[in-house]
Amino acid sequence: MRGDVLMPEGPEGVPTEAQIPPPPVAERRPVIVERHGERLEDPYAWLRQRDDPAVRAYLEAENAYAEAVLAPTRPLQEQLYQEMLARIKQTDLSVPYLDRGYYYYTRTEEGRQYPIHCRKVGSLDGAEAVLLDLNLLAEGKSFMDLGAFAVSDDGQWLAYSTDDTGYRDYRLQVKDLRTGAHLGVSVEHSGSVAWAADSRTLFYTVEDDAKRPYRLYRHVVGSEAHDLLYEEGDEAFRVGVGRTRSGEFLVLYSGSHTTSDARYLPAGQPEAAWTLFAPRVHEREYDLDHWGDRWVVRINDTGRNFRVVAVPLADPRLEAATELVSHRDNVMVEAVDPFDGFLVVTERADGLPRLRVLTGEGAGHDVPFPEAVCEAYLGPNREYQSPVVRYHYQSLVTPTSVFDYDTRDRTTELLKQTEVLGGYDSTRYVSERLMATAPDGTQVPVSVVQRRERARDGSQPLYLTGYGSYGIPFPIGFSSTRLSLLDRGFAFAIAHIRGGGELGKPWHDAGRMAEKQNTFTDFITVAEHLVREGWTSTDGLVVEGGSAGGLLMGAVVNRRPDLFGAVISLVPFVDVTNTMS
């Protein structure tokens, strides 16, 4: 009811057009801005002034409008919330992993919002030690998020960072795990962290006002000093520090979206100078890890999709490299993880993930997956000498699963699959991989899931999402909350459009800078394909994108407002010229 007018409700509490009140109208206050030699009129520049009472009043009016529009759906909202919550096993335990004699894991408890980080020494039958309970840290706060989490080699010190603002503003602290006491370390705006082998020297990065990690510091536990070791002066570059899988070296990365370099330091010599591995070259990216008497380097010097080479520690020059994995136009090398005696190469071939085990130059095999259309990535493999590789797996119909793969006999063991309460049966659903043809002939992949019995006659609603930015592949993941849509007759689809990383670096390049329009036309192509092939209708097509995906929503709805029944734009990045200037 609005005012004293009783209005009918649509299906399941969805408001009818007659129920929707008129929206607030933002005042136009035109100002002229000049961008790249062009004069543009911006009527809403004033809305960027957060302290302006008129801005607050307008936002409050928008919130009131949203509340009024959604008021008839409150019973449905509560129903959806309760059924989504009912599928989640609130008291649960992650699969423990072994690291230097300790088994580490997280657990959750019903009624508590955040995970509890724990460990046991020597055996899973041992006594539990709680390292960090985020619920306790969150008391009296409306938000809590864990950033860095690193335990020293001797198991005594925990370096961790938390954000209680919701703005990704992390504060670094150090905790004595023997006594539970915190040291006098409190570093604001912190980023990545890494311990040296002496278990006393901590390296960490700090962000600038733009949330760009740009400085590397060294701190020795118990001292007052925080020594600045490196500062990245190029605002396009971000730094990060980490430890090689062998534990023998520390690595400092500095990279932009297109260029990177790396420095290394023996983990047992924290006072030594950092050594630059290879100089910064425009449009060249590389990263490195330690493998016996060699560096393993992932580098894109011969092609955008990267290759893998080995460089002797005794002669650490790229000119001395031996190629282990060559560049391929249809395969993106995403990561390389060394183990004692073999490598695991994470690849994306034709848009789908692949884990390859390499035992030597040219020799290797793939880890088998139960489904072709899936998502897979390595889990915490902290034991460098282990022949067993842990990985995580999921698909649109398979909940997140943790597997151990034994590289000796090539056997796979399922350790855990996330439990979906209420009797989830994956056979009731079917997923497919489609291809939509863009105007320039490019084949755009589409991942779709729906109830198995649903007909493709255009009658069902469909929820289509996309991102297409920063070279990030859109994950083909499982969601228990999505079942509430599927069980009500929706299909769900992901448009793997250009600008993302599904088909490697060229796929990203084809949707950025001067080619950004391909991101938008690809999404429209996918939407048209789904309608034409009977997956949905224009009235039943709901599209959604967040952040850079919100930019996508703004572009496609302005180009083809006739194509979509509803648009969801989450934290949209739509004021591009002002934001990027």
For residues 291 and 321, the answer to whether their CB atoms sit within 8 Å is no
Expressed as residue numbers, the domain containing 243 is: 141-284
- End of a domain among 85, 101, 117? 85
How are beta strands 541-546 and 566-570 bridged, if at all? parallel
Which of 16-25, 211-220, 317-326, 531-540 bottoms out in mean pLDDT, i.e. has the lowest? Answer: 16-25
Q: Which residues contact 385 (CB under 8 A, 6 or more apart)?
A: 339, 340
Q: Are residues 183 and 79 in the same domain?
A: no
**Residue 237 domain flag:** yes
- End of a domain among 284, 310, 343? 284
**Residue 364 domain flag:** no
Residue 565 has pLDDT above 60, yes or no: yes
Q: Are residues 146 and 246 in the same domain?
A: yes
Q: What is the pLDDT of residue 16?
A: 67
Give dist(CA 390, CA 405) in Å, integer.
6
Residue 118 has pLDDT above 80, yes or no: yes
* Distance in angstroms between the alpha carbons of the first and the last residue of the chain: 45
Residue 7 has pLDDT above 60, yes or no: no
Q: What is the pLDDT of residue 575?
A: 85
**Residue 101 domain flag:** no
Over residues 150-173, the pLDDT tens digits come to: 999 999 999 999 999 999 999 999
Q: Which residues contact 11 (CB under 8 A, 6 or more apart)?
A: none
Domains of the chain: total: 3
Q: Are residues 565 and 439 in the same domain?
A: yes
Q: Are residues 72 and 169 in the same domain?
A: no
- Average pLDDT (2-17) is 45
Residue 558 has pLDDT above 50, yes or no: yes
The beta strands (E) that lie in 424-561 are given as 429-437, 443-451, 462-466, 491-495, 541-546
**Residue 562 domain flag:** yes
Over residues 334-379, the pLDDT tens digits come to: 999 999 999 999 999 989 999 999 987 657 999 999 998 999 999 9
Contacts 24+ apart (CB under 8 A), 115-124: 115/146, 117/146, 117/149, 120/96, 124/96
Max Cα distance, the chain (Å): 83
Q: Is 60 exposed, middle or buried (0-12, 13-18, 19+ CB in 10 A)?
A: exposed
For residues 449 and 430, the answer to whether their CB atoms sit within 8 Å is yes
For residues 203 and 218, the answer to whether their CB atoms sit within 8 Å is yes
Amino acid sitting at position 60: E
Q: What is the pLDDT of residue 362?
A: 59
- The closest alpha carbon to 454, from 418, 492, 425, 480, belongs to 492
Q: Are residues 54 and 168 in the same domain?
A: no
Q: What is the pLDDT of residue 361?
A: 60
H or E segment to which residue 338 belongs: strand 331-339
**Residue 340 domain flag:** no
Neighbours of 203 (CB within 10 A): 26
Q: Are residues 78 and 200 in the same domain?
A: no
Over residues 53-98, the pLDDT tens digits come to: 999 999 999 999 999 999 999 999 999 999 999 999 999 999 999 9
Give dist(CA 386, CA 413) in Å, integer.
15
User: What pTM, to 2 d.p., does this model score?
Assistant: 0.92
For residues 472 and 499, the answer to whether their CB atoms sit within 8 Å is no
- The closest alpha carbon to 152, from 191, 114, 197, 121, belongs to 197
Q: Are residues 557 and 479 in the same domain?
A: yes
CA angle 151, 241, 155 (to 5 degrees): 10
Q: What is the pLDDT of residue 13?
A: 56
Over residues 428-487, the pLDDT tens digits come to: 999 999 999 999 999 999 999 999 999 999 999 999 999 999 999 999 999 999 999 999
Q: What is the pLDDT of residue 316?
A: 97
The string of DSSP codes covering 538-561 is TTTEEEEEETHHHHHHHHHHHH-G
Q: What is the pLDDT of residue 20?
A: 78
184 DSSP 8-state letter: S
Chain centre distance of CA 138: 23
- End of a domain among 69, 85, 101? 85
